Amino acid sequence: MTFTKAMRAGLLPAALTMALTTGVANAATADPPAPVLVYAFDTDDLSTGTIGDSSGNGLDGTLVNASTASLVDGAGGGHALNLPGGAPTSDGAYVRLPLAAIKDKTDLTVSARVKWDGTASAWQWIYALGKDTNRYLFSTPYNGDGRLRTAVTTSSGGGEAKVTGYAPLPASAWKTLTVTLDTAAERVTTYLDGAAVASASASTTVTAAQLIDAATTSAGYIGRSFYQDPLFDGAIDDFRIYGAALSAEQVAAVAGGTTPTPTGLAQDAFAVRTTIGTAPSLPAAVRATFTDGYDRDLPITWSPVDPKDYAAAGTFTVNGTAADRPVTATVTVIREGQLIIDLAKDTGPFHGGASGTLYGLYGPGVPTNNLIEGMRLRTVSTKAHTARSIQAPTRWRWSSRSPTAPTATCTST
């Protein structure tokens, strides 16, 4: 079956929702498209420095520093490629990918079975697709915060669209990591063993073609970063690239095995605040535990909110579901500018500091003593009132770095 862009555009939203809410692949889904490149490592002779492509497209890879690589038991029998890791300047092995793996592509899917050794040196790249430190797509088992991260950019690190897991890639076990770059949906998504890591997959308009330019000679690497990051320490098997963004069901099918399913929600009640006349902004997703022990986000489907519910100050409840589990949002509607102080709520240590200008009229009782005392005014200067007690416009200035050392001045204008 040919996998067309139009089909995907029609299939994806329902398909993605289905997979994210149930975690169960739909058997009726179209088969995945043919991969552009497949490295199974089962028949390779590493001493040749060549990694054979079994897709039929002849896109063999080049094993650099081959003497430090080895073949180990594969994810499902056969062999996998073991890479030693180490400094980028070391003789650690990695694979250089042929340019045709991503050339003239728009959408991409990268999938690999990965057995990371768990060395907690940040920013080992499992793969790097693109040209250089300006244009790339990569995944790391362990970012600077120790979490699984995928990012894509055409404007270096500052322009990255990121998808971040709640934990590192689980180490010392075979895990299937799949990343889709879907330009119709304008997003990049990461799947772990066929289940999306975060429902709020990062928004991006980057296409595969934009990851390279006319001067690019390689599609990138397996096991090496474009930056001077540590080399990947672990084993890789069944490395695949598709010239399409696979649907959630197709990703699960490629991952094989049992797709992890949700077992519970981190929270099922949310407090939301809005102002009169403004629809409440309800959370789009909730963190959930899964059967494989790796937390992921689940999208929340909320019941429609009647504008009458937030037409006046008050409180109302909205019901929703996340993976068929009920959630509620308690919405408090306040007047614009209304300040509510909940003394029962601990918001942590006070680290305030403010300076500003208060401009206005004053007179007996304005501003109130409460306000003046709260500002801890020390000095006030003002233009004398006239006998007719015309209230003079006054500019108040205050600066407060701590509750005990404020200064304030008030000058008339």
Q: Which residues bind Ca ion (CB under 5 A)?
A: 40-42, 74, 78, 117, 233, 237
CA 112 to CA 174: how far, in whole Å?
Answer: 10
Please say which residue, 42 or 132, places its beta carbon nearer to Ca ion.
42
* Minimum gap (Å) between residue 39 Cβ and Ca ion: 8
Q: How far is the CB of 253 from Ca ion (least distance, A)?
A: 18
* Structure tokens belonging to residue 176: 């299937």
Tell me the closest approach of the beta carbon of residue 141 to Ca ion, in angstroms.
12
Pick the closer one to Ca ion by CB: 233 or 292. 233
Contact between 41 and 78 (Cβ < 8 Å)? yes
Q: How far is the CB of 238 from Ca ion (least distance, A)?
A: 6
Question: Of 74 and 220, which has the nearer Cβ to Ca ion?
Answer: 74
E strand spans, 165-277: 175-182, 187-192, 195-196, 202-203, 218-222, 231-242, 262-265, 269-275
CB nearer Ca ion, residue 74 or residue 299: 74
Q: Which is nearer to Ca ion, 110 or 298 (CB)?
A: 110
Listed in sequence order, the residues at least 6 apart from 298 whose beta carbon sits closer than 8 Å to its beta carbon are 20, 21, 199, 262, 265, 285, 286, 287, 288, 322, 323
CA distances from 75 to 112, 144, 192, 275 (A): 10, 28, 15, 54
Task: Check: CB of residue 110 under 8 Å from CB of residue 195.
Answer: no
Helix (H) or strand (E) holding 216: none
Least Å from the CB of residue 76 to Ca ion: 7
**Cα–Cα distance, 296 to 291 (Å, whole number):** 11
Instruction: Give the distance between the most distant pair of CA atoms in the chain.
Output: 102
Residue 138 · residue 225 · CB < 8 Å: yes
Query: How far apart are CB 188 and Ca ion at their closest, in Å?
Result: 26
- Say if CB 298 and CB 199 are below 8 A apart: yes
Min dist CB 35 to Ca ion, Å, is: 14
CB nearer to Ca ion: pick between 78 and 374: 78
Beta strand pairing call for 285-290 and 269-275: unpaired
User: By C-beta, is 40 or 163 nearer to Ca ion?
Assistant: 40
Contact between 94 and 64 (Cβ < 8 Å)? yes
Between CA 95 and CA 51 the distance in angstroms is 8
Rounded distance, CA 234 to CA 224, Å? 12
Q: Which residue is nearest to Ca ion (CB)?
A: 74
In sequence order, the 6+-apart residues with CB closer than 8 A to the CB of 168 are: 116, 118, 120, 141, 142, 146, 147, 148
**Least Å distance between CB 251 and Ca ion?**
19
> Minimal distance in Å, beta carbon 176 to Ca ion?
13
Least distance (Å) from Ca ion to the CB of residue 148? 18
C-alpha dist (Å) from residue 350 to 340, 342, 395: 17, 15, 27
Closer to Ca ion by CB, 117 or 309: give it. 117
State which residue, 93 or 97, has the beta carbon closest to Ca ion.
Answer: 93
CB of 170 or CB of 280, closer to Ca ion: 170
